[in-house]
Amino acid sequence: MDLRQMEYVVAVADERHFTRAASLVGVSQSGLSASVRALEEELGAPLFDRTTRRVELTEAGRAFVPYARTLLAHATRARDAVVDATREVSGILRIGAEQCLGIVDVAALLERFHHRHPQVEVHYVEAGSHDLVARVRAGELDAAFVAAAGHLGALPSRTLGEEDLVLLCPPGHAAAQAPGVGWADLAGFDFVDFHPSWAMRPLNDAAVAAAGGDRRVRFTVGDVHTLISFVGRGLGVAVVPAHVAAKPEAAGLVAVPLEGGRGRWTVSAVWSPRDRADSPTPHLLALLDAGYGACAPARHEGPHSTVEALAGSAQM
């Protein structure tokens, strides 16, 4: 029985699928399956019920997995303690974030991280949340700050906060004077929205569809400031997190509350399960725990706004 086998069992337990679990931990499916079978033979009991359609924990598996998680957590802390005690943190931190997340100020967090650990070389990328999660899962990034939680799967993650969504529109738009709009009401509007790899696009699509509507996305963009500019020119409306409406560039626009409780802007930190003994990632997470990188509340000052206080300042 070794830690690698523990990691494999936990991955299969989380994913309920041998192929996905193998991809998550970076080994072949056959290698993972053989390792799990060897552990089951050593324990004298099957840990999983396997069929062609599903994989489920057996009673023995349900008893085993909590101890496996604990041992893996202790092993990670033990490696971190050795690294902390023997040398200054160095190496490369590969990290990404979606643009203008709100909730977390990534630039401020990385500034503090650099002051604490100046020997670490930071490789930073900006992309849509779905692309970032795929890169973390593939081992191309150590960590990422992303929006929405439905696409994280079994990757280790931490929710950093959430905020309301609003409808951003020009002052002359039909919805601008409304006290609020429902998701089903959005079906008649022309939209500016992000590329599907951004978290906002599938969140909007799912919320409108769940309300029984459909919508027309006339302009697809890949930048928050471009979206604000297009809305300001009357090319469409946009559903955005409240902090986007608080950006100075949106001061002339109207933020209308969305009613019906469908969809919330959730921001999470996610990191690779392929832990390296010398990884700088735990040191970044420690700064998050200490409260560094949190955005301060912001207010929207645009004319005719129906939102008086909008949580989360804009990340520049």
For the stretch 215-248, pLDDT in tens is 889 999 989 999 999 999 999 999 999 889 988 8
pLDDT attached to residue 277: 59
Question: How do residues 136-150 score in pLDDT, each as one tens digit?
Answer: 988 899 999 998 766
**pLDDT-based confidence at 298, cuts 50/70/90?**
very low
What share of the chain has pLDDT > 90, as a percent? 35
Structural domain includes residue 296: no
Buried b (16+ CB within 10 A) or exposed e, 119-151: ebeeeeeebbbbbbbbbbbeeebbbbbbbbbeb
Task: Specify whether 250 is located in the same domain as 278.
Answer: no
Instruction: Find the helix or strand (DSSP H, E) in which 20 lies.
Output: helix 18-25
Task: Specify whether 103 is located in the same domain as 34.
Answer: no
Structural domain includes residue 154: yes
Q: What's the total number of domains in the chain?
A: 3
| Euclidean distance between CA atoms 160 and 146, whole angstroms | 10
* Among candidate residues 107, 258, 285, the one with its CA nearest the CA of residue 184: 258
The strand pair at 143-147 and 91-97 is best described as: parallel
DSSP code for 308:
S
Task: Specify whether 95 is located in the same domain as 115.
Answer: yes
What CATH number should be reported for the domain holding residue 131? 3.40.190.10
* Mean pLDDT across the chain: 83
Structure tokens given for 209: 């569809």
Structural domain includes residue 300: no
Task: Specify whether 118 is located in the same domain as 45.
Answer: no
Structural domain includes residue 211: yes
**pLDDT-based confidence at 311, cuts 50/70/90?**
very low
Task: Specify whether 155 is located in the same domain as 273.
Answer: yes
Structural domain includes residue 129: yes
Give Cα 309 to chain centroid, integer Å.
24
Cβ atoms of 305 and 252 closer than 8 Å: no
- Show which of 85, 117, 144 is a domain's final residue: 85
Domain of residue 10 covers 3-85
Least-confidence region, from 44-58, 105-119, 195-209, 285-299: 285-299
Structural domain includes residue 171: yes
Task: Specify whether 102 is located in the same domain as 225.
Answer: no
pLDDT attached to residue 145: 94
Structural domain includes residue 35: yes
Task: Specify whether 54 is located in the same domain as 122.
Answer: no
- Residue 261, pLDDT above cutoff 80: no
pLDDT attached to residue 316: 32
Question: How do residues 92-141 score in pLDDT, each as one tens digit?
Answer: 999 999 988 888 889 989 998 998 889 999 999 999 999 999 999 888 99
* Among candidate residues 93, 98, 95, the one with its CA nearest the CA of residue 315: 98
Task: Specify whether 72 is located in the same domain as 93.
Answer: no
pLDDT attached to residue 42: 93
What CATH number should be reported for the domain holding residue 81? 1.10.10.10
Cβ atoms of 175 and 169 closer than 8 Å: yes
List beta partners, residue 55.
50
Q: Regarding predicted confidence, which is higher, 50 or 87?
A: 50
Task: Specify whether 76 is located in the same domain as 12.
Answer: yes
**Backbone dihedral region of 297: left (phi > 0), alpha (psi from -120 to 50 degrees) or beta?**
beta
Structural domain includes residue 297: no
pLDDT attached to residue 309: 29
Q: What's the rounded mean pLDDT across residues 54-76?
A: 89
- Show which of 37, 69, 85 is a domain's final residue: 85
Task: Specify whether 143 is located in the same domain as 272.
Answer: yes
Task: Specify whether 279 is located in the same domain as 136.
Answer: yes
Task: Specify whether 257 is located in the same domain as 172.
Answer: yes
- Show which of 85, 110, 135 is a domain's final residue: 85
- Residue 55, pLDDT above cutoff 70: yes
How far is residue 146 from each of residues 56, 152, 266, measured CA to CA in Å?
29, 9, 8
How far is residue 277 from each of residues 4, 43, 84, 273, 274, measured CA to CA in Å?
14, 28, 10, 12, 10
